[in-house]
């Protein structure tokens, strides 16, 4: 695994986890949006690079679904 690949993989996961574990309702929406952007950027990076890691793509897709659910739930409250 290349250093830039590992760095990109770690970055989106950290932003995603920050959103998942945010307890302050005022900070949740911006963190969810930042996580969504990070996930989308990483998916684009993997797809454009041609060397996509199937496992990471599955993780990213799962993260997208989770973030969408949380954003919809947040809007309802």
Residue 11 — φ and ψ, nearest 5°?
-65, -50
DSSP string over 35-71:
HHHHHHHHHHHHHHHS---HHHHHHHHHHHHHHHHHH
Domain ranges of the chain: 3-76
Residue scoring higher pLDDT (4 or 25): 25
Three-state DSSP state, 27? helix
Q: What confidence tens digit (pLDDT) does each residue in 8-24 have?
A: 778 999 999 999 999 99
The rounded distance, in Å, linking the Cα atoms of 45 and 9 is: 10
pLDDT at res. 41: 95
Q: What confidence tens digit (pLDDT) does each residue in 24-72 have?
A: 999 999 999 999 999 999 999 998 877 678 899 999 999 999 999 999 9
Query: pTM for the full model?
Result: 0.84
pLDDT at res. 76: 82
H-helix or E-strand spanning residue 7: helix 3-20
């Amino acid at each position: 695994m290349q250093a830039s690949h590992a760095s990109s993989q770690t970055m989106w996961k950290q932003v995603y986890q920050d959103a998942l574990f945010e307890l302050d309702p005022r900070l949740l929406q911006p963190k969810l949006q930042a996580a969504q952007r990070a996930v989308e950027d990483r998916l684009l990076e993997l797809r454009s690079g041609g060397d996509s890691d199937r496992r990471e793509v599955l993780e990213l897709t799962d993260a997208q679904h989770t973030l969408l659910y949380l954003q919809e739930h947040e809007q309802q409250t």
